[in-house]
Chain A
Amino acid sequence: MKRFAALLDSLAYQPQRNGKLRLIEAYLRDTPDPDRGWALAALTGNISFKHAKAGLIRGLAESRVDPVLFGLSYDYVGDLAETVALIWPAKPGANRAPELSEVIETLNAASKADIPRLVESWLDALDPDGRWALIKLMTGALRVGVSARLAKTATAALGGQEPDEIELVWPGLEAPYENLFAWLEGKAERPSGIARAPFRPVMLSHPIEDRDLAQLNPHDFAAEWKWDGIRVQAVSDHGEKRLYSRTGEDISAAFPDVMDLLPDDVALDGELLVFREGAPATFNDLQQRLNRKTVTKPMLRDFPAGIRAYDILHQGEDDLRPLNFRERRARLEALLTTAARDRLDLSPLVPVTNWDDLQTKRSNPPSPAVEGLMLKRWDSAYLPGRVRGEWFKWKRDPHLVDAVLMYAQRGHGKRSSFYSDYTFGVWKGAELVPVGKAYFGFTDEELKEIDRFVRNNTENKFGPVREVTHTSETGLVFEVAFEGLARSARHKSGVAMRFPRINRLRWDKPPRDADRIETLEAMLA
């Protein structure tokens, strides 16, 4: 438990992706089985306990600490797990600290009545970091900024493998993954034969600009709409059905309505969308269904989800990925003429004659749920990752608004000496209301200029945040680019931007000439 606690602790403070990878890899290398496997299960979100809840932890703490002191401390710290971890009185002569595997195996086997006593004895035996890790593990929210994909990438590095190799075997594995580590360390064969409905690494595209098109021959490419949902992979395999996000996260549980649609024994690549009368709705609607572990009946009724299919990777016993796009497309069309149903349909191709014609079509998409065009080489095999020269995304031009810098926050890591995270706003009547936050889109040179502006025009400081002068006469105007807009009750302005970034610095423009909230509201309609 000690090592696992140290890992969580360092991950929580590590802002860089590479730094996190290094920490996880070092942990997996130095920690024996089965502990490291349980840690991997925890990091990939594959552990949960029925009977261990936050209320139980609080109750234990209040039985051991003076309630006045507990109250004063909780007020100060503000987080229950951390307050309990820190305030828990050390017990000299307590048992040795438990190993991670011991905690997990015991909790899985214990009856509800035994759990308080067990947890209490562990809290006695652990140090504050260990107690914090234990409480985090038990209550199921690690929140250390590690995705399942990141944890798997670090695991792959252990054996010099590509992360996608892990994905292929992953669905057939069970914690604590001893066979996986044995394979990665060259002590055993690749785990196989047990995987059902595995995730297959997704083929990704490169962005392309109008001016780059001249170098490509339009006859080499198929074009299709890029739908504005989330890219998914739907797999059915001998009765087992799974839905994966683009990064291989299993999101099946939240989309039972989609699982019901899948034909037998296929792996499809497509866009997850909410459908209304056979037509895809905007991302705004899909958003209601995202980031939920489960789904309610009203959700299913009001926001029915489905898949618009782009590609087919597997059918029956055949791996179709080595085939070219033309051949795969034929297989997909054949499948969906017989198996098509409401909310599972084919993403139509857009005829390509020349680039100018296609550009006209791109500017007049058939649906608000289109965010651009995809160009795919007819002869492209389905390859993992971002393969150069095969697939391109040609996005619709982003929306642009002029907004005023209101607050600036220090960045992390290499940027910690710069004010690099910006909150900007637009006019609503005579005042500015924040409409978004962005921390990229500018060059290093521009970052230095903005940083200087922030330091020289600070009105207030709140911890790492500075309020920057923003009157109608004085302030810095950003041209902000973004992909879409959603209604948001959380923001005072009532709107939230998707993928905002700083497009241009408008030193020339006085804040009074920045955009007004009405402009954004019109985009929502």
Chain B
Amino acid sequence: MRAEQILRTTPAGLYCPRGDFYVDPVRPVARAVITHGHADHARAGHGAVLATPETLAIMASRYGAEFTSNRQAAAYGARNTINGIDVTLVPAGHVLGSAQAVIEVSGKRVVVSGDYKRRQDPTCAPFEVVPCDIFISEATFGLPVFRHPPAEEEIAKLLRSLKTFPDRCHLVGAYSLGKAQRVIAHLREAGYDAPIYLHGAMQKLCDLYEALGVRLGDLRPAMDMMKTPLTREVFKGAIVLAPPSALNDVWSRRLGDVVTCFASGWMRVRARARQRLVELPLIISDHADWDELTETVQEVKPGALWVTHGAEEALVHWSNSIGIPAMALNLVGYDEEGAGETPPAAEPAA
């Protein structure tokens, strides 16, 4: 059986003809397998959706309970069948509920890894290596200049800055699904137990994480504090989390003198950090860095590597050079920034 008969690229995304389903389709389809809740992977309007219970809950919270007419919850490791094709979801370590889709057809195994990382993350299950014939990988940080330092070091940097600038509010930009909760969880691990203030756009997903069993500690809506006459006092030396789009927006003016921080793998490159007027870059990423990408490919030892989105060229070159034939799929519709933050129409812009 040829690879294309198991999975092929179409304008709507990766399609499995035998099982008549798509993985992370970018347009509405009859049947979809969704790897995780980021907006560029999980869109509303599919006929049927197979995903982990957490991903289904995230989609429902973002799009409303009616985001699909047929939900199929698939626990990690459980074998599901779609039109006779075996589909298993295993943890991808990217955000809560994120999964790799393991598709088996006539003894051939294809792993669609979605977005993934290999670092420790207190908010989600760690990536599992599944040996396979074809491994489909993203390449958001697919250049050897991207090597993320340990998240603990970056959190320590933030705590050190709070000590150096105790009178300034530390406004941390973080994507509202996954990154925000991970930053909070790492702060708690480091012993920071003061209240953390949230921009309105983060509240719902933080509540959902809590409901799904991820402890985040004392979180408070920043907006409530903005109404008091003591606003400036409250935010002195406090940590406030906001989506990146709010960092330099009018909203942030009410926080007084802020140290603008941004938690993202892109912060590795100075020009990117300066362009966003970031004063304290925090290199914390939910995507694999170069070493994680190359180590993962070597551990999975696939017969072939297909690269979906990001900096495909370097990863394909490297893979070919170690004898694993690779190609770029040139899928369109996925967020090259790896943010998954393209706000879906149903989500209020707050």
Does A464 contact B165, Cβ atoms closer than 8 Å? no
Instruction: Scan B260-280; emit 1 where CB is below 8 A from any A CB, else 0.
Output: 100000001111011111111
Question: Which residue of the partner chain, among A69, A72, A78, A90, contacts B271 with CB atoms under 8 Å?
Answer: A78
Main secondary structure of the interface of A (DSSP, over half): helix
Instruction: Tell me if B318 is interfacial: C-beta within 8 Å of chain A.
Output: yes
Residues on B with C-beta less than 8 A from A72 are: 143, 311, 313-314, 317
A23 to B157, CA, bound (A): 13
* Chain A residue nearest in CB terms to B247: A416
The minimal Cβ–Cβ distance linking A3 to chain B, given in whole angstroms, is 12
Does B273 contact A13, Cβ atoms closer than 8 Å? yes
Does A76 contact B317, Cβ atoms closer than 8 Å? no
Instruction: Tell me if B303 is interfacial: C-beta within 8 Å of chain A.
Output: no
Instruction: Tell me if A491 is interfacial: C-beta within 8 Å of chain B.
Output: no
The minimal Cβ–Cβ distance linking B243 to chain A, given in whole angstroms, is 15
Given contacts A13-B280, A73-B145, A464-B275, contact A66 B165 (CB under 8 A): no
* Chain A residue nearest in CB terms to B163: A26
Residues on A with C-beta less than 8 A from B144 are: 65, 69, 73, 86-87, 89
The minimal Cβ–Cβ distance linking A289 to chain B, given in whole angstroms, is 31
Does A410 contact B277, Cβ atoms closer than 8 Å? yes
Instruction: Tell me if A14 is interfacial: C-beta within 8 Å of chain B.
Output: yes
Instruction: Tell me if B299 is interfacial: C-beta within 8 Å of chain A.
Output: no
Instruction: Tell me if A414 is interfacial: C-beta within 8 Å of chain B.
Output: yes
Instruction: Tell me if B249 is interfacial: C-beta within 8 Å of chain A.
Output: yes
Given contacts A13-B278, A65-B144, A66-B321, contact A79 B249 (CB under 8 A): no
A68 to B321, CA, bound (A): 11
Residues on A with C-beta less than 8 A from B273 are: 13
Instruction: Tell me if B164 is interfacial: C-beta within 8 Å of chain A.
Output: yes
Instruction: Tell me if A487 is interfacial: C-beta within 8 Å of chain B.
Output: no
* Chain A residue nearest in CB terms to B272: A77
Instruction: Tell me if A110 is interfacial: C-beta within 8 Å of chain B.
Output: no
A123 to B15, CA, bound (A): 46
Question: Which residue of the partner chain, among B143, B164, B248, B258, contacts A26 with CB atoms under 8 Å?
Answer: B164
The minimal Cβ–Cβ distance linking B90 to chain A, given in whole angstroms, is 29
Instruction: Tell me if A339 is interfacial: C-beta within 8 Å of chain B.
Output: no
Residues on B with C-beta less than 8 A from A463 are: 275
A248 to B253, CA, bound (A): 38
Instruction: Tell me if A386 is interfacial: C-beta within 8 Å of chain B.
Output: no
A65 to B252, CA, bound (A): 43
Question: Which residue of the partner chain, among B253, B270, B276, B321, contacts A82 with CB atoms under 8 Å?
Answer: B270
Residues on A with C-beta less than 8 A from B145 are: 73, 76-77, 82-83, 86-87
The minimal Cβ–Cβ distance linking A344 to chain B, given in whole angstroms, is 45
Instruction: Tell me if A127 is interfacial: C-beta within 8 Å of chain B.
Output: yes
Question: Which residue of the partner chain, among A73, A76, A417, contacts B253 with CB atoms under 8 Å?
Answer: A417
Residues on B with C-beta less than 8 A from A77 are: 145, 269, 271
Residues on B with C-beta less than 8 A from A65 are: 144
Does A416 contact B270, Cβ atoms closer than 8 Å? no
Instruction: Scan B126-161; emit 1 where CB is below 8 A from any A CB, else 0.
Output: 000000000000000001111101000000000001
Q: Which of B252, B277, B313 has the most CB of A within 10 A?
A: B277
Given contacts A72-B313, A464-B275, A464-B277, contact A127 B149 (CB under 8 A): yes
Instruction: Tell me if A412 is interfacial: C-beta within 8 Å of chain B.
Output: yes
Instruction: Scan A19-36; emit 1 where CB is below 8 A from any B CB, else 0.
Output: 100110010000000000
Is the interface on chain B under 10, 10 to 19, 20 to 34, or 35 or more residues?
A: 35 or more
Instruction: Tell me if B281 is interfacial: C-beta within 8 Å of chain A.
Output: yes
A12 to B276, CA, bound (A): 14
Residues on B with C-beta less than 8 A from A90 are: 147
Does A417 contact B248, Cβ atoms closer than 8 Å? yes
Instruction: Tell me if A475 is interfacial: C-beta within 8 Å of chain B.
Output: no
Does B279 contact A23, Cβ atoms closer than 8 Å? no
Residues on A with C-beta less than 8 A from B250 are: 417
Does B248 contact A410, Cβ atoms closer than 8 Å? yes
Instruction: Tell me if B257 is interfacial: C-beta within 8 Å of chain A.
Output: yes
* Chain B residue nearest in CB terms to A127: B149
Instruction: Tell me if A280 is interfacial: C-beta within 8 Å of chain B.
Output: no
Residues on A with C-beta less than 8 A from B269 are: 76-77, 82, 86
* Chain A residue nearest in CB terms to B314: A72
Instruction: Tell me if A201 is interfacial: C-beta within 8 Å of chain B.
Output: no
Question: Which residue of the partner chain, among B257, B279, B314, B321, contacts A13 with CB atoms under 8 Å?
Answer: B279
Residues on A with C-beta less than 8 A from B313 are: 72
The minimal Cβ–Cβ distance linking B222 to chain A, given in whole angstroms, is 15
Instruction: Tell me if A128 is interfacial: C-beta within 8 Å of chain B.
Output: yes
Interface residues of A in 10-65 (CB under 8 A from B): 10, 12-15, 19, 22-23, 26, 65
A68 to B317, CA, bound (A): 8
A19 to B318, CA, bound (A): 43
The minimal Cβ–Cβ distance linking A408 to chain B, given in whole angstroms, is 13
A464 to B260, CA, bound (A): 15
The minimal Cβ–Cβ distance linking A54 to chain B, given in whole angstroms, is 17
The minimal Cβ–Cβ distance linking B311 to chain A, given in whole angstroms, is 8
Shortest Cβ-Cβ A-B pairs, 9 listed: A86-B145, A73-B145, A416-B277, A72-B314, A463-B275, A87-B144, A417-B253, A13-B279, A73-B143
19 new A-B contacts, CB < 8 A, other than A13-B280, A416-B260, are A10-B161, A13-B278, A13-B281, A15-B279, A22-B164, A66-B317, A69-B318, A72-B143, A76-B145, A83-B145, A86-B145, A86-B268, A90-B147, A128-B149, A413-B279, A416-B248, A417-B249, A417-B252, A463-B275
- Mind listing 8 A-B residue pairs with CB under 8 Å? A13-B279, A26-B164, A65-B144, A66-B321, A72-B317, A128-B149, A416-B252, A464-B275
